[in-house]
Amino acid sequence: MIEMDENEYIVSRIAGMKIINKTRYYLIEWEGYELVENTWERENNVYSPHSISKFIEDYCKESHCRRDLVPYINRKILLQNTYDPDTKQHYKPIKNVEQITTVTTDAKDKKRVRDTSDCELENSSRAVQDIRKSFRPLLLDAPKEFQDTFNFVINSVKINFPVVRAQNHQRINNVPLYVVKNLKARVTIYNDIDSDLPNDFIYTDQLLYTAPVQQPDPNFLSGCNCSGSDDCSSGCHDTVVYDNKGRLAVKQGTAIYECNNACECSINCKNRVVQRGRSIPLQIFKTSKKGWGVRTTQTILKGTFIEEYIGEVITTEECDKRGSFYDEHGCSYLFDMDFAQGELPTKYAIDAFIMGNVSRFFNHSCSPNLEVFAVYYDSADVQMHRLAFFASRDIKKNEELCFDYNGREDLQQIEDEEENPARYSCHCDSNECRKWIYM
């Protein structure tokens, strides 16, 4: 008989996973101990590959997530019927409402006693249920891989920005006003056409790198040494891209290289504009012919940064697969990272179909007031860059924000091709309208 050291413990099962400062932790249920004794342990302290594999298998069954996608989940995930010492809550989802269960111990028989009370938690929130419901008809016809990706995104992205009624139930022209909660710069939602809300996607302010795409490695970045300075506009950059007001000082077609995490300057540096995020308040509104659109609630001057295009970062191969599926259903939110296409093939694209931000609703115009720029600040890979919208001219208050979906040279290239891609009628009503939008 093997005698165990009194300091040794046996893992009953692994019931959760989280990442803190790039370190992975597992939630351990210990053999012979109550659930309230669960502990979070560093990955390198868990000597049970079988338990880790079993945890991943169980999580995939419960969440309908592909096994190979689990390592890319960056939020805390838990199995059913466990106890999280971080929150001191029992995790037991049922139907549309998860339950918080207080775990106590019966002194007589040492069995777990659970007092349950309903509590709506993030994974079964109203927002998630609305998203699942809105996607249901589309998913019935979707390839299996896309269904798996959808479940992965739904299960891995925390909903930090729900759509809620405006404070004091504010109304405009007797139409209720809604807001996207928790944003630094306000986004309101106004619909005087019908009663719909744009709740068929997850609002996020961060890119999600979907397997096999890897998040850029900051160790490959090189930066300036302007320590303590807020002005890196001279000396350490070949091109000055922003003026003293933070507005563009370069023309369309120029890549923007902002200071990055390897630089010694502060976040207030004049060469950090896109990475500080949107500062212009915007409104999502229902149009009469184009679905949802976006307008500004204040005057915007030429060269002002508006918003970054956010969504899933996927490979061009995955982009082509999704593009074919989206074309069949008359919808697409794909945007190529193609600034380097003249020298190197395009490797990545951003898909804002499942998750994105307000830029997801920017409509097309043949006479646009927005321009798109490639921006580098967290990637040393020339084929992986951010996509940022800037005002191409002064924009009046309440004017809709639009850009040209067909880009700079794209239109001529499309017209020269023997087989044109999918096209849709244009409703921009511009005097320069080309009548068609090519996808």
For residues 392 and 301, give the distance between their C-alpha atoms in angstroms, rounded to a whole number.
9
Residues across the chain: 439
Q: Which of 251, 146, 214 is nearest to 384 (CA)?
A: 214
- Give binding residues as ranges: 224, 226, 232, 259, 263, 265, 269, 366, 426, 428, 433
Q: What is the pTM of this model?
A: 0.72
Write the CATH number for 311: 2.170.270.10
Annotated binding site for Zn(2+): 224, 226, 232, 259, 263, 265, 269, 366, 426, 428, 433
| Three-class DSSP category at 390 | strand
Domain end marker among 105, 124, 143: 124
Residue 271 lies in a domain: yes
State how many domains the chain has: 2
Percent of the chain with pLDDT over 70: 84
User: Is residue 137 predicted with pLDDT exceeding 50?
Assistant: yes
Are 190 and 117 part of one and the same domain?
A: no
Are residues 314 and 359 part of one domain? Answer: yes
Give the pLDDT confidence score for residue 366 in this predicted structure.
92
Strands, E, within 168-290: which ranges?
A: 171-172, 175-176, 178-180, 187-190, 202-203, 208-209, 256-257, 282-286
Residue 410 has pLDDT above 70, yes or no: no
Q: Which domain holds residue 92?
A: 11-124
Question: Is residue 326 situated within a structural domain?
Answer: yes
| Band of pLDDT at residue 100, cut at 50, 70 and 90 | very low
Rounded to whole angstroms, the Cα distance separating 130 from 199 reads 7
Beta strands in 199-262 (DSSP E): 202-203, 208-209, 256-257
375 Cα distance to chain centroid: 17
Same domain, 183 and 120: no
| Shared-domain flag, residues 203 and 294 | yes
Give CA separation, 416 vs 15, 224, 345, 412, 413, in Å.
57, 44, 20, 6, 5
